[in-house]
Amino acid sequence: MTMSNSIPPFEITPYAGGEVVLRLSDIRKTYNSGELAVNVLKGISFEIRRGQFVGIVGTSGSGKSTMLNILGMLDVPTSGSYLLEDINVETLTDQEQATIRNRKIGFIFQSFNLFPYLTIEQNIEVPMIYNRVSRRVRRARALELAKQVGLGHRLGHRPTQLSGGECQRVAVARSLGNHPTFLLADEPTGNLDEKTGNEIMNLFHRLNREQNVTIVMVTHNPLFEPHYDQVIRLRDGLVVQEFPQGAFAS
Amino acid sequence: MMLFSDIVQLSLQNLRLHKVRSVLTSLGVIFGVGSVIAMLAISEGAKRKALEQIEAMGIDKIIVYSKKPPSAGAGVSSSRTSRIDAYGLSAVDRRKILELDNIERITRVRDARKKILKGLDRMDLKLVGVDRDFLEDSASGMVAGRWFSGLDFHSPQNICVIGSNVKRKLFPLGARDVIGAPIRVEGQVFRVIGVLHNDIGATYPEVGNPNDMILIPFPTSEILYGNYAYTDDGTGIRVTLIDYDVFLLKIRNLEYIDNTARRLINYLGKSHSKVKDWEVIVPLDLLKQREATQNIFTIVMSSIAGISLIVGGIGIMNIMLASVFERRKEIGTRRALGAQKVDILLQFLIETVSLTSLGGLLGVILGIGISQIITYYAGMPTVYSLWSIVASMLISSLVGVIFGTYPAWQAAQQNPITVLRAE
C-alpha cells in the first residue's frame, strides 16, 4: 500500500476550528405514522466550526439519515433550532431553502448521483447553473475543480466511461462549485472498494487540510474515525459520544 | 431560477438522449399534424381548381344554356323511328334578354351535333358555331393564325378556328403548319385559319372546353345547319330542334349582377312556362357558394385536427408522467443541488413543448410528403398555405404547454428526500 492510499497517521491533532458555522440545539424529529408517533431525533445539539472535518456516525436506525436530511435542508425538524452561519433555517421558504442548498451546502451522495447524459464538465457545472453563473466563468471553474480532483483530462467524458472512484471525484468537484460553507457527504465510500474508498477519504482530507473546507460526513465506517476532528455518535436519536471529549463544552 | 437558455439546453439534451423514444412519443402529434397538412393541401388544391374553373367562366358573365328537359320528345311525335326534340333558347329569348338594361352583349354558341371522325374513330370534339366576341368572352387566345374577321361574318365561308386539343388530336404529331389545312365534317370541308388556346380551362355546360372545339362563324353555322340536327342513337333517327346551346351574357355593371340574374330568371320562367329547358349560371354566385362550403369544410377539418392533437397530447402526457416517475432520482439530486421547483417545472415543460413542436415539424414534413405523393400518383393538385404550416406548428407547441403542465407540476412537487432514497 503506497503512502497516498493509506490512512493518514493518527497523531494529527484534532482541529478546534474557526468560527461556528453550524449550530444545532435540541433538534427533535417526530414522524407520525397513523396513531403511532415515532421519535427519531430526541433532542440533538452540537456545533461545527469552520475548517473542521466532522463525522456523524451511528448504526442504522440511529437517526443518522434524518440528521443528514435536516442538515442538508431537505427536511425540517419538528422542534429545535438550526443556525447555518447567521441564518435561522426553520423560517425559510421552500425557495429560500433551495437557494441555501445551492450556495452553502455541497452534497455528495453514496451512489454519486451524476447525470449520465451530461459530460463531466457539464456535471460539475450543474450547481453553478442553478446559481446563474455565466457560461464562461462556469467553464473555467469546472476545469479548475476537475484538475483539483485529478480529472482535468477527462472533462469531455461521460460518467459511464469512468470508474466508481472517478465518479465520486467528479461529485466532489461538483459539490465545490459555488464555494459552499460545508460539504455534506452521505456514505461517500459506501459504493466503493476499500482502496478506492481510501483514495476518496484522502481527497476529503486534503481538501480539509489544504483549503480549509468544512466537511460533515455521515457514515457507519469506524475505520475513518481517525480522520475526524470531531465525531458525533448517534444512538436511538441521541448523541451518545463526542470526540474529542468535551469538544462542545468549550 | 436558472438562466432560460440553460433550461432549454438541458431539456433538448434529454430529448437527444432518447431519440427513438422522443420520436415514438410524438407520433400522435406527427400523424395528427401530417394528416391535417395533407388534407388541407388537397382540399386547397381542389378548391383552387374549382375556383379557377368558375373564374374561367368569367365573374362578369351570366351563362344561360339550353337544357334538354326530361320529357322532351315524348309529346311532340308518336313516331317510333323519328322523334323530334324541340327545346332551349330561341331567337326571341335572345332579343328579349338583350332588352334587359344591364346586359352589354350576348355571345351565342351552338353545337352542330356532328360526328368528328379521324379515320373511322369518333373523336370527342365538337363543331360549334360562335359569335365574334367568343374569343374575348371565353378569355381564350390565339396561338397561331388569326381569329374571324368582320368579313367572315358578313359573307360566310367554310373556315374554322380550332382549339389546341383539336390540333393535337386531328393532326399528326409535329405538323408545323395547320393553317390552311382542311377538316372534313360530315360532308362539309372547313379550312383552318387559326389555332386557339384557352389556358384557364373554361368549361361550359353542354359544349365543354374551347380547346376541344372546331369553331365556325355563327352565320356559317346557320346557313349549313339551321336550327336542327339529326342524330342517330341506335334506335332510330332523332331530330333536335334547338336555336342556341349557350348564351354568354356580358354584364355592364357588376354591382347589379344579382338583380339582372333575377330578372333574367323571371323572364325565362315566364316565357318557358311549359317545361324548364333552360338553366342560368352566375359564376360569381358559385364562387360565393364555394367559399361558404369551403368554410364549413375548414371547420370540420379543424375539429378533426383538434381531436387528433388532443389524443396525441394525452399520449405525450402519459409518457411524461412515466418519465417523471422514472427520473425521480434525477429530480431529487437536482433539488438537493439547488434547483428551485420552478426550475424543475420549466425543465419538464420545455421538454414536452420541444417534443410536441418537434412532432409538429415532422408532421408538416410528413404532410407535405403525403400530398406530394398524392399529386404524383393521383394527379390531384395540392397547395400548401404558409398559414396552415405556421398554425400547425403553433398549435403543436400549445398542445405541449397544455399537456406538459401537469407532468411538469408533478415533477416539481416531488419530495427530494423520498426521491433521493429511490434507487
Question: With pLDDT > 90 as the criterion, what percentage of chain B qualifies?
Answer: 33
Question: Which of A111, A123, A130 is the best mutation test for B, with the most CBs of B within 10 A?
Answer: A130
CA dist A239 and B118 (Å) reads 114
Most distant pair of Cα atoms in chain A: their distance: 56
Is the CB of residue B417 less than 8 Å away from at least one CB of chain A? yes
Question: Which of A60, A68, A102, A183 is the best mutation test for B, with the most CBs of B within 10 A?
Answer: A102
Per the CB < 8 A criterion, the answer to whether A234 and A56 are in contact is yes
Measured on CA atoms in the order B29, B31, B37, B39, is the torsion positive or negative? negative
Condensed to tens digits (0 to 9), the pLDDT of residues B231-285 reads 776 777 788 888 999 999 999 888 888 889 999 999 999 988 888 889 898 888 8
Cα A122 to chain centroid, rounded:
21
Across the interface, of A69, A95, A178, the residue whose CB is closest to B340 is: A95
Asked if B90 and B212 sit in the same domain, the reply is yes
DSSP reduced 3-state for A139: helix
Residue B25 covered by a domain = yes
CA dist B135 and B250 (Å) reads 13
* Whole-complex ipTM: 0.89
Contact A98 B340 (CB under 8 A): yes
Condensed to tens digits (0 to 9), the pLDDT of residues A152-202 reads 999 999 999 999 999 999 999 999 999 999 999 998 998 899 999 999 999
Asked if B243 and B327 sit in the same domain, the reply is no
Q: Which residues of chain A have a CB within 8 Å of the CB of B10?
A: 129
Asked if B239 and B91 sit in the same domain, the reply is yes
Choose the final residue of a domain: B276, B305, B337.
B276
Q: Report how far apart, in Å, the C-alpha atoms of B23 and of each of B165, B319, B371 are.
A: 50, 12, 22
Asked if B243 and B362 sit in the same domain, the reply is no
Contact A132 B416 (CB under 8 A): no
Write out residues 104-133 of A within 8 Å (CB-CB) of B.
Answer: 107, 109, 111, 113, 115, 117-118, 126-127, 129-132
Residue B146 covered by a domain = yes
Q: Which residues of chain B have a CB within 8 Å of the CB of A115?
A: 330, 333
Quote the number of domains for chain B.
2
What distance in Å separates residue B306's CA from the closest CA in chain A? 35
* Confidence at residue B36, expressed as pLDDT on a 0 to 100 scale: 85
CA dist B70 and A120 (Å) reads 86
What distance in Å separates residue A134's CA from the closest CA in chain B? 9
Residue B63 covered by a domain = no
Choose the final residue of a domain: B242, B276, B310.
B276
Q: Which residues of chain B have a CB within 8 Å of the CB of A119?
A: none
Condensed to tens digits (0 to 9), the pLDDT of residues B94-124 reads 998 988 888 999 999 999 988 888 888 888 8
DSSP category for residue A246? T
Asked if B184 and B333 sit in the same domain, the reply is no
- Chain A CA closest to residue B2: A130
Residue B60 covered by a domain = no
Asked if B45 and B172 sit in the same domain, the reply is no
Asked if residue A209 has pLDDT above 60, the reply is: yes
Take residue A130 and report the three cell numbers written for it: 442553478
Q: Report how far apart, in Å, the C-alpha atoms of B259 and of each of B66, B253, B288, B420 are.
A: 21, 11, 16, 80
* Confidence at residue B384, expressed as pLDDT on a 0 to 100 scale: 84
Is the CB of residue B336 less than 8 Å away from at least one CB of chain A? yes
**Domain ranges for chain A:** 52-76+92-243
More confident residue, A187 or A16: A187
Contact A131 B338 (CB under 8 A): yes
Contact B417 A109 (CB under 8 A): no
Residue B125 covered by a domain = yes
- CATH code: domain A52-76+92-243 is 3.40.50.300
* Three-state secondary structure of chain B: CCCHHHHHHHHHHHHHHCHHHHHHHCHHHHHHHHHHHHHHHHHHHHHHHHHHHHHHCCCCEEEEEECCCCCCCCCCCCCCCEEEEECCECHHHHHHHHHCCCEEEEEEEEECCCCEEECCEEECCEEEEECCCHHHHCCCEEEEECCCCHHHHHCCCCEEEEEHHHHHHHCCCCCCCCCCCEEEECCEEEEEEEEEECCCCCCECCCECHHHEEEEEHHHHHHHHCCEEEEECCCCEEEEECCECEEEEEECCHHHHHHHHHHHHHHHHHHCCCCCCEEEECHHHHHHHHHHHHHHHHHHHHHHHHHHHHHHHHHHHHHHHHHHHHCHHHHHHHHHCCCCHHHHHHHHHHHHHHHHHHHHHHHHHHHHHHHHHHHHHHCCCCCCCHHHHHHHHHHHHHHHHHHHHHHHHHHHHCCHHHHHHCC
Asked if residue A67 has pLDDT above 70, the reply is: yes
Asked if B349 and B272 sit in the same domain, the reply is no
Asked if B38 and B186 sit in the same domain, the reply is no
* Nearest alpha carbon to residue A235 among A15, A108, A59, A101: A59
Domain ranges, residue B111: 68-276
Asked if B315 and B340 sit in the same domain, the reply is yes
Asked if B120 and B265 sit in the same domain, the reply is yes
Lowest-confidence range among A122-136, A179-193, A214-228?
A214-228
Question: With pLDDT > 70 as the criterion, what percentage of chain B qualifies?
Answer: 94
More confident residue, B331 or B69: B331
Choose the final residue of a domain: B252, B276, B300.
B276
Question: Which of A101, A103, A110, A115 is the best mutation test for B, with the most CBs of B within 10 A?
Answer: A115
* Confidence at residue B422, expressed as pLDDT on a 0 to 100 scale: 52
